[in-house]
Amino acid sequence: MRHFITAAAVAAFAGALALAGNVLAAPPGQGYSITYFGTDGEVVGGATAHCSGEYLSWGDHTATYDKRTWYCD
């Protein structure tokens, strides 16, 4: 029984990681950049998903943002 619980926990964790990776990755052939703004309109964070698959994120993520997408060469 203990082995089953451990295997289920590992499978759930792996599934969560896969889902998180899919949410952050840009669509095939595209990249994107997001700028997050605070309540005063100042930039408080950002994120970029490059065409190479690299994801960078900094600062705070808020509900107010501007997203720009582009097509990769």
26: which residues sit within 8 A by CB, 6+ positions away?
A: 32, 49, 50, 51, 69
Would you say the pTM of this structure is higher than 0.95? no
Give the length of the chain: 73
Enclosing domain of residue 49: 2-71
The candidate with the shortest Cα–Cα distance to 44, out of 62, 66, 71, is: 62
pLDDT digits (tens, 9 = 90+) for 12-48: 666 555 444 445 677 788 999 999 999 999 999 999 9
Output the six-digit token pair for 28.
């095939």
Number of domains forming the structure of the chain = 1
